[in-house]
Structure 1
Protein backbone atom coordinates (compact mmCIF):
# COMPACT_ATOMS: atom_id res chain seq x y z
CA UNK A 1 0.00 0.00 0.00
CA UNK A 2 2.81 2.44 0.80
CA UNK A 3 4.34 1.83 -2.61
CA UNK A 4 1.05 2.77 -4.30
CA UNK A 5 0.70 5.98 -2.24
CA UNK A 6 4.32 6.95 -3.08
CA UNK A 7 3.68 6.54 -6.83
CA UNK A 8 0.51 8.59 -6.59
CA UNK A 9 2.36 11.36 -4.72
CA UNK A 10 5.13 11.38 -7.32
CA UNK A 11 2.59 11.59 -10.16
CA UNK A 12 0.69 14.35 -8.39
CA UNK A 13 3.91 16.28 -7.72
CA UNK A 14 5.02 15.91 -11.36
CA UNK A 15 1.60 17.10 -12.61
CA UNK A 16 1.78 20.08 -10.23
CA UNK A 17 5.34 20.89 -11.37
CA UNK A 18 4.29 20.74 -15.04
CA UNK A 19 1.23 22.94 -14.37
CA UNK A 20 3.48 25.51 -12.65
CA UNK A 21 5.89 25.51 -15.60
CA UNK A 22 2.98 25.91 -18.05
CA UNK A 23 1.58 28.77 -15.94
CA UNK A 24 4.96 30.54 -15.78
CA UNK A 25 5.38 30.15 -19.53
CA UNK A 26 1.89 31.55 -20.18
CA UNK A 27 2.52 34.52 -17.84
CA UNK A 28 5.83 35.27 -19.56
CA UNK A 29 4.21 35.08 -23.02
CA UNK A 30 1.37 37.35 -21.89
CA UNK A 31 3.84 39.89 -20.48
CA UNK A 32 5.82 39.88 -23.74
CA UNK A 33 2.69 40.38 -25.83
CA UNK A 34 1.51 43.16 -23.51
CA UNK A 35 4.86 44.95 -23.83
CA UNK A 36 4.79 44.58 -27.62
CA UNK A 37 1.23 45.95 -27.84
CA UNK A 38 2.08 48.85 -25.52
CA UNK A 39 5.11 49.69 -27.66
CA UNK A 40 3.02 49.61 -30.84
CA UNK A 41 0.39 51.82 -29.20
CA UNK A 42 3.08 54.34 -28.15
CA UNK A 43 4.51 54.39 -31.69
CA UNK A 44 1.05 54.85 -33.22
CA UNK A 45 0.25 57.64 -30.75
CA UNK A 46 3.50 59.40 -31.68
CA UNK A 47 2.68 59.01 -35.37
CA UNK A 48 -0.85 60.30 -34.78
CA UNK A 49 0.50 63.28 -32.86
CA UNK A 50 2.95 64.06 -35.67
CA UNK A 51 0.20 63.80 -38.28
CA UNK A 52 -2.04 66.07 -36.21
CA UNK A 53 0.78 68.62 -36.01
CA UNK A 54 1.18 68.48 -39.79
CA UNK A 55 -2.59 68.86 -40.27
CA UNK A 56 -2.65 71.87 -37.94
CA UNK A 57 0.29 73.46 -39.78
CA UNK A 58 -1.34 72.87 -43.16
CA UNK A 59 -4.64 74.30 -41.93
CA UNK A 60 -2.90 77.44 -40.70
CA UNK A 61 -1.04 77.77 -44.00
CA UNK A 62 -4.30 77.32 -45.89
CA UNK A 63 -5.96 80.00 -43.79
CA UNK A 64 -3.01 82.28 -44.50
CA UNK A 65 -3.21 81.58 -48.24
CA UNK A 66 -6.97 82.09 -48.28
CA UNK A 67 -6.75 85.34 -46.33
CA UNK A 68 -4.00 86.67 -48.61
CA UNK A 69 -6.02 85.56 -51.65
CA UNK A 70 -9.01 87.54 -50.38
CA UNK A 71 -6.83 90.63 -49.97
CA UNK A 72 -5.15 90.53 -53.40
CA UNK A 73 -6.24 90.76 -57.02
CA UNK A 74 -3.86 88.21 -58.58
CA UNK A 75 -4.69 84.74 -57.37
CA UNK A 76 -2.47 81.73 -57.85
CA UNK A 77 -4.59 78.57 -58.28
CA UNK A 78 -3.63 75.78 -55.92
CA UNK A 79 -3.23 72.23 -57.12
CA UNK A 80 -5.80 69.72 -55.93
CA UNK A 81 -4.73 67.70 -52.89
CA UNK A 82 -4.06 64.55 -54.92
CA UNK A 83 -1.91 66.46 -57.41
CA UNK A 84 0.04 68.19 -54.64
CA UNK A 85 0.69 64.85 -52.89
CA UNK A 86 1.70 63.20 -56.18
CA UNK A 87 4.18 65.98 -56.88
CA UNK A 88 5.41 66.26 -53.26
CA UNK A 89 4.53 69.94 -53.08
CA UNK A 90 4.10 72.05 -49.98
CA UNK A 91 2.21 75.29 -49.54
CA UNK A 92 5.33 77.25 -48.66
CA UNK A 93 7.08 76.66 -52.01
CA UNK A 94 7.35 79.65 -54.35
CA UNK A 95 4.86 79.75 -57.24
CA UNK A 96 7.54 79.26 -59.92
CA UNK A 97 8.71 76.03 -58.25
CA UNK A 98 5.13 74.83 -58.03
CA UNK A 99 4.50 75.59 -61.70
CA UNK A 100 7.79 74.00 -62.77
CA UNK A 101 6.80 70.75 -61.05
CA UNK A 102 3.41 70.44 -62.80
CA UNK A 103 3.63 67.43 -65.11
CA UNK A 104 3.95 68.24 -68.84
CA UNK A 105 0.60 66.65 -69.69
CA UNK A 106 -1.11 68.99 -67.22
CA UNK A 107 0.60 71.99 -68.86
CA UNK A 108 -0.51 70.69 -72.25
CA UNK A 109 -4.11 70.49 -71.07
CA UNK A 110 -3.87 74.04 -69.78
CA UNK A 111 -2.33 75.25 -73.08
CA UNK A 112 -5.05 73.51 -75.12
CA UNK A 113 -7.74 75.00 -72.93
CA UNK A 114 -6.26 78.45 -73.57
CA UNK A 115 -6.33 77.90 -77.31
CA UNK A 116 -2.61 77.12 -77.61
CA UNK A 117 -1.58 73.74 -78.90
CA UNK A 118 1.42 71.80 -77.61
CA UNK A 119 4.17 71.02 -80.10
CA UNK A 120 3.16 68.42 -82.65
CA UNK A 121 -0.63 68.68 -82.06
CA UNK A 122 -1.59 71.32 -84.66
Structure 2
Protein backbone atom coordinates (compact mmCIF):
# COMPACT_ATOMS: atom_id res chain seq x y z
CA UNK A 1 0.00 0.00 0.00
CA UNK A 2 1.44 3.36 -0.95
CA UNK A 3 1.91 6.34 1.32
CA UNK A 4 -0.66 8.29 -0.72
CA UNK A 5 -3.25 5.63 -0.01
CA UNK A 6 -2.58 5.88 3.72
CA UNK A 7 -3.02 9.65 3.59
CA UNK A 8 -6.21 9.22 1.57
CA UNK A 9 -7.56 6.75 4.13
CA UNK A 10 -6.56 9.01 7.04
CA UNK A 11 -8.31 11.89 5.27
CA UNK A 12 -11.45 9.81 4.81
CA UNK A 13 -11.69 8.61 8.40
CA UNK A 14 -10.86 12.07 9.79
CA UNK A 15 -14.32 13.18 8.66
CA UNK A 16 -15.81 10.74 11.19
CA UNK A 17 -13.95 12.23 14.16
CA UNK A 18 -16.06 13.24 17.14
CA UNK A 19 -14.46 16.54 18.18
CA UNK A 20 -17.26 18.84 19.38
CA UNK A 21 -15.10 20.45 22.08
CA UNK A 22 -11.82 21.20 20.30
CA UNK A 23 -13.12 21.07 16.71
CA UNK A 24 -9.71 19.56 15.91
CA UNK A 25 -10.40 16.44 13.87
CA UNK A 26 -7.55 13.97 13.35
CA UNK A 27 -7.41 10.90 11.14
CA UNK A 28 -4.89 8.08 11.19
CA UNK A 29 -4.29 5.17 8.85
CA UNK A 30 -1.74 2.47 9.39
CA UNK A 31 -0.61 -0.57 7.49
CA UNK A 32 0.35 -3.66 9.43
CA UNK A 33 3.35 -5.77 8.46
CA UNK A 34 0.80 -8.27 7.16
CA UNK A 35 -0.35 -5.61 4.67
CA UNK A 36 -3.72 -4.84 6.26
CA UNK A 37 -5.11 -1.33 6.59
CA UNK A 38 -6.48 0.05 9.87
CA UNK A 39 -7.91 3.50 10.52
CA UNK A 40 -8.84 5.59 13.52
CA UNK A 41 -10.11 9.06 14.33
CA UNK A 42 -10.09 11.07 17.51
CA UNK A 43 -13.14 10.70 19.76
CA UNK A 44 -13.57 13.40 22.38
CA UNK A 45 -15.61 13.17 25.53
CA UNK A 46 -17.06 15.94 27.67
CA UNK A 47 -14.74 14.63 30.41
CA UNK A 48 -11.91 15.96 28.22
CA UNK A 49 -9.00 13.67 29.12
CA UNK A 50 -11.20 10.62 28.58
CA UNK A 51 -11.16 10.93 24.79
CA UNK A 52 -9.04 8.83 22.46
CA UNK A 53 -6.59 9.82 19.78
CA UNK A 54 -6.80 8.76 16.15
CA UNK A 55 -3.55 6.79 16.40
CA UNK A 56 -4.79 4.89 19.45
CA UNK A 57 -8.00 4.01 17.60
CA UNK A 58 -6.12 2.67 14.58
CA UNK A 59 -3.79 0.64 16.80
CA UNK A 60 -6.75 -0.78 18.75
CA UNK A 61 -8.43 -1.80 15.48
CA UNK A 62 -5.22 -3.53 14.36
CA UNK A 63 -4.87 -5.47 17.60
CA UNK A 64 -8.57 -6.38 17.64
CA UNK A 65 -8.19 -7.83 14.13
CA UNK A 66 -5.24 -9.98 15.19
CA UNK A 67 -2.31 -8.11 13.63
CA UNK A 68 0.42 -6.98 16.01
CA UNK A 69 3.05 -4.95 14.12
CA UNK A 70 2.86 -1.63 12.30
CA UNK A 71 4.71 -1.19 9.00
CA UNK A 72 3.82 2.47 8.34
CA UNK A 73 1.54 5.25 9.55
CA UNK A 74 -0.11 8.41 8.21
CA UNK A 75 -1.74 11.12 10.36
CA UNK A 76 -3.69 14.13 9.09
CA UNK A 77 -5.33 17.17 10.67
CA UNK A 78 -6.52 20.63 9.65
CA UNK A 79 -3.43 22.35 10.97
CA UNK A 80 -1.04 25.00 9.62
CA UNK A 81 1.82 22.47 9.77
CA UNK A 82 1.83 18.66 9.67
CA UNK A 83 0.70 17.53 13.11
CA UNK A 84 2.80 14.96 14.97
CA UNK A 85 1.29 12.31 17.24
CA UNK A 86 1.00 13.36 20.89
CA UNK A 87 3.50 11.96 23.39
CA UNK A 88 1.24 9.13 24.50
CA UNK A 89 0.61 8.05 20.93
CA UNK A 90 4.32 8.18 20.16
CA UNK A 91 4.84 5.64 22.94
CA UNK A 92 1.93 3.53 21.62
CA UNK A 93 3.37 3.59 18.10
CA UNK A 94 6.79 2.56 19.45
CA UNK A 95 5.17 -0.41 21.19
CA UNK A 96 3.96 -1.85 17.88
CA UNK A 97 6.39 -0.53 15.25
CA UNK A 98 10.10 -0.77 14.57
CA UNK A 99 12.00 2.44 15.20
CA UNK A 100 12.57 2.91 11.46
CA UNK A 101 8.86 2.56 10.61
CA UNK A 102 7.86 5.55 8.47
CA UNK A 103 5.31 8.09 9.66
CA UNK A 104 3.84 10.65 7.29
CA UNK A 105 2.23 13.65 8.93
CA UNK A 106 -0.06 15.76 6.73
CA UNK A 107 -2.33 18.78 6.69
CA UNK A 108 -5.67 19.01 4.94
CA UNK A 109 -4.04 21.63 2.68
CA UNK A 110 -1.54 19.10 1.32
CA UNK A 111 1.61 19.78 3.34
CA UNK A 112 3.43 16.65 4.42
CA UNK A 113 6.39 15.75 6.58
CA UNK A 114 7.95 12.30 6.73
CA UNK A 115 9.80 10.90 9.72
CA UNK A 116 10.26 7.64 11.61
CA UNK A 117 8.94 6.31 14.91
CA UNK A 118 12.37 6.43 16.55
CA UNK A 119 12.90 10.04 15.52
CA UNK A 120 9.59 11.06 17.09
CA UNK A 121 10.40 9.38 20.39
CA UNK A 122 14.08 9.51 21.29
CA UNK A 123 14.92 7.78 24.56
CA UNK A 124 11.74 5.72 24.49
CA UNK A 125 10.71 3.56 27.42
CA UNK A 126 10.74 -0.16 26.56
CA UNK A 127 10.15 -3.49 28.27
CA UNK A 128 13.95 -3.79 28.58
CA UNK A 129 13.81 -1.08 31.24
CA UNK A 130 11.72 -3.41 33.41
CA UNK A 131 14.06 -6.39 33.39
CA UNK A 132 16.71 -6.92 36.04
Assess same fold via TM > 0.5: no
Structure number with higher strand proportion:
2
Structure showing greater radius of gyration is 1
The two structures have a TM-score, normalised by structure 1, of 0.26
The two structures have a TM-score, normalised by structure 2, of 0.25
User: Which one has more relative contact order, counting CA pairs under 8 Å at least 6 apart?
Assistant: 2
